[in-house]
Structure 1
Amino acid sequence: MFDKYPFTVQENFIRYVQIDTQSDPQSTTFPSTEKQKTLGRLLVQDLLQIGVPDAHLDEFGYVYATIPANTDKQVPVICFCAHMDTAPDCTGAGVKPIVHTNYEGGDIVLPDDPTQVISPADHPYLRKKIGEDIITASGTTLLGADDKAGVAVIIDMANFLVSHPEVKHGTIKILFTPDEEIGRGVDKVDLQKLGADFAYTLDGGERGSFEAETFSADAVTITFHGISAHPGYAKDKLVNAIKVAAYFLDQLPKDAWSPETTEDRYGFVHPVHIEGMTEKATLQFIIRDFYTHKLAAYENSLRDELELALSKFPGAKADFVVKEQYRNMKEVLDNHPQVSQYAIGAIARAGVPVIEMSARGGTDGSRLSFMGLPCPNLFTGEMAFHGKHEYVSVQDMQKSVETIVHLAMIWEEKAG
């Protein structure tokens, strides 16, 4: 079916990653950065040109579009979703994508900063990519495969379905979101307008991977209140909030809890932002675990450590605020087994071994699932995301396109 199809995913991906769409967790606007809409407008143009007539960008930076059904069957409405923003961790301005055609193995030295080397020793998945075409950045930015690979895959899927009307499918919805990387990706989504019954995010890694389980997540903000005084006359008066926060951080476990000391099914407590002055300092944490009840245990332990720290600094006080971010999608998806079964079947139809994984993170699908739209995650090939070593295989992206076309077909076939 795809033997003679001229995939568009590579050329589109290269265009998309050159648009800076970095989100900003400190912003109070939505989307957090206006530049995300620049890519949104381009995606609308691309969809209209393909022949998806209702594609549009709304005031919040979401792109909505519909590929109408071409079957008489009553098929559940399926949505394919990807996010447009890139992570705040590494700059996405001035991305120079480089295609390493017919990768021969070995180190990939990035030319704009030769100290940046993508090595199979550090990235063993590269050993499976010999003979494929690898896209990287140039060494001074991230690439943006997370999640512009997913965006480009969905655009190519739309191009295939519109240009192959003989391929039967139900109504397909397309959703591109802003601000996923800062946990706000579905804050303003209009699910009634979207009108989907089930969904899939395209935001996964290696070829064949399928994720129907994610972390559950909370955010914790601790605000330390000290006592300000003129430093020249501060004896027995000054309580420095910065020092209280620093002491508290230093007391946290060194060989447990943190992302750098945990793997597999272990969760973590991760400080992600600190700022302050003598009178007030603020620490922000993200709390993660596959088991939702363990979040409260982590948070209670943090409270205990906080009380111990405050006891060392008489006069110091602190506020402890917990905010729910998302929950493990498995709690919802277990009630809709066909959503996962059909995805696994589609990966197999694309001729790819299925790798069922649990995501040590979250996707827009985590929150969408609990908003009433069950939504697991499918592979795109994006690897080493959030840093300068990010890369993606063109052939992985093409297999992702094939997978979601087959997935649309399977939903139609299984309908009554």
Structure 2
Amino acid sequence: MQVKRERLADIFTQLCETDSPSRHEGRVAELLKGILTRLGPAEVVEDDSAAVTGADCGNLIFRFDGSLDQEPIFFSCHMDTVEPARGVKVKRSGDLFTSAGETILGSDDKSGLAACIEMMRVLRENDRPHRPLELVITTCEEIGLVGAKALDPQLIQAREGYALDSSGFAKVITHAPALNRLTITVGGVASHAGLHPEWGINAITVAARALAQCPCGRLDEETTVNFGTIRGGVAANIVPEKVVIEGEVRSHSATRLEEVTQEIRTTFETVIAQWQDPTGSAKGCPGVEMEVYQDFPLMALDRESDLLRRVDQAATAVDLEMSYEKAGGGSDANIFTGHGLPTAIIATGMTNVHSTEEQVELDDMVNLTRLLLALATETSC
């Protein structure tokens, strides 16, 4: 089966030059439906997630029946791109693709989408037997995996799959951390800073004492903490009565994630409990509330699973040597895995993503397509 390089280059360019910033993926969705419907899917599903995500289209699922007596698998990509992403023009220098202007390129994740399209085209024109396949294409990944979170997992018939969404090449992500988002609200008492400062309680200084005692940064090989924003107060002459801190805890250990989250909660509560009024004139006491929201669950795949042994087998078939790594960030794969649909992440060749220096090589997209073809057609796993 021969991957057609220039056809792959053309569809990649067309995808990139069809703007699709998060929540505005509708034009790319229509393009994908037009292309993939002509390749004979058994079913095309667009879900009703737009009501939740605010996007101008839903998530897409394309199901292709297979003639091999093998378990179905899915390939997942996302349609949306980060800003600046309007008016994208692709520049090709030899086999290197970059943005021709002041926008991102869009190889995140249109390199994955292009490879999926070329895979199905090659399978069809060669009439090659393959296992049942699903293409699961989400919206709003770049703004918090919002599309995948809104997707009903019962719509996916395959029980495991591969997300084509990582920088680098010949790389498989097998582990990604869970993440707790924290919103910590420290309450004080407002008063005039010049006339009666002793009547007030400065929420900023109380919060600062707690933050100084909290864990932060890389705590161990598995766990990180960051406090990213702090906002509060209304004017320099008013003792601030409220501070809101946004932070996160990430860990590859579910136990450690909860331990560190609780440590932060306890630290704030202890600082509040130990607060003393220096003059005895304060009109109240400080308080704290901490909200914890799990943004995405842990992804941890068994290296001996069929999911990963299938990658080994496919890579051998196309003469690629894959590396297996842990990631520090989350992706749609975390959401699918959390739903009981184990999902490995396969790198697509994209580099310098989320910047105007983004680029990808045609050779990497060709080899990605060859790997997908092998995953679709190999029969041992």
TM-score (norm 2): 0.83
Q: Which has the larger radius of gyration?
A: 2
Distance 1:77 1:66 in 2: 10
Distance 2:84 2:219 in 1: 26
Q: Give per-residue Cα distances to partners, 1:339-368, cap 9 Å, x unaligned.
A: 100112212322221111112212212221
1:371 aligned partner, one-letter code: H
* Pair 1:7–1:156, CA change in 2 (3 A): farther
Write out aligned runs for 1:103-182 (5 A).
133-138=95-100, 140-165=102-127, 167-181=128-142, 182=144
2:97 pairs with 1:97:
no
| Structure 1 unaligned residues grouped into runs of 5+ | 24-32, 102-132
2:211 pairs with 1:212:
no
2:272 pairs with 1:316:
no
Percent identity, aligned pairs only, is 25
* Pair 1:65–1:94, CA change in 2 (3 A): same
* Pair 1:159–1:274, CA change in 2 (3 A): farther
Kept after mapping to 2: 8 A contact 1:242/1:280: yes
Kept after mapping to 1: 8 A contact 2:167/2:347: yes
Residue 327 of structure 1 is matched in structure 2 by: 297
* Pair 1:385–1:252, CA change in 2 (3 A): farther
Residue 333 of structure 2 is matched in structure 1 by: 365
Q: CA RMSD in A?
A: 2.8
2:36 pairs with 1:47:
yes
Distance 1:137 1:143 in 2: 5
Residue 2 of structure 1 is matched in structure 2 by: 2
Deviation at 1:78, TM superposition (A): 1.0
TM-score (norm 1): 0.76
Kept after mapping to 1: 8 A contact 2:190/2:241: yes
2:219 pairs with 1:268:
no
Kept after mapping to 1: 8 A contact 2:166/2:345: yes
Residue 110 of structure 1 is matched in structure 2 by: none
Which of 153, 156, 162 lines up with 1:191 in the alignment?
153
Distance 2:63 2:146 in 1: 23
Deviation at 1:150, TM superposition (A): 1.6
Deviation at 1:391, TM superposition (A): 2.0
* Pair 1:58–1:305, CA change in 2 (3 A): same
Distance 1:312 1:148 in 2: 53
Secondary structure of 2:308's aligned partner: helix
Residue 348 of structure 2 is matched in structure 1 by: 380
Kept after mapping to 2: 8 A contact 1:7/1:398: no
* Pair 1:321–1:175, CA change in 2 (3 A): same
Distance 2:170 2:137 in 1: 22
Distance 1:54 1:247 in 2: 58
Q: Give per-residue Cα distances to partners, 1:37-88, cap 9 Å, x unaligned.
A: 332222212212344363343332201111221x2x432111110112234x
Distance 1:313 1:343 in 2: 61
2:254 pairs with 1:292:
yes
Deviation at 1:226, TM superposition (A): 2.9
Distance 1:370 1:380 in 2: 23
* Pair 1:170–1:320, CA change in 2 (3 A): same
1:351 aligned partner, one-letter code: D
* Pair 1:93–1:404, CA change in 2 (3 A): same
Q: Give per-residue Cα distances to partners, 1:115-159, cap 9 Å, x unaligned.
A: xxxxxxxxxxxxxxxxxx222235633333222222222222222
| Structure 2 unaligned residues grouped into runs of 5+ | 50-57, 234-239, 278-284
Distance 1:138 1:238 in 2: 56
Which of 63, 67, 77 lines up with 1:66 in the alignment?
63
What is the aligned length?
358
Kept after mapping to 2: 8 A contact 1:227/1:279: yes
1:11 aligned partner, one-letter code: D
* Pair 1:414–1:266, CA change in 2 (3 A): closer
* Pair 1:355–1:196, CA change in 2 (3 A): same
2:70 aligned partner, one-letter code: V
Secondary structure of 2:179's aligned partner: strand
Secondary structure of 2:197's aligned partner: coil
Q: Give per-residue Cα distances to partners, 1:351-399, cap 9 Å, x unaligned.
A: 2211111122122122212212111111201222223332222211111
Distance 2:85 2:206 in 1: 35
Residue 11 of structure 2 is matched in structure 1 by: 12
Write out aligned runs for 1:76-87 (5 A).
76-87=71-82
Distance 1:404 1:216 in 2: 27
Distance 1:392 1:240 in 2: 51
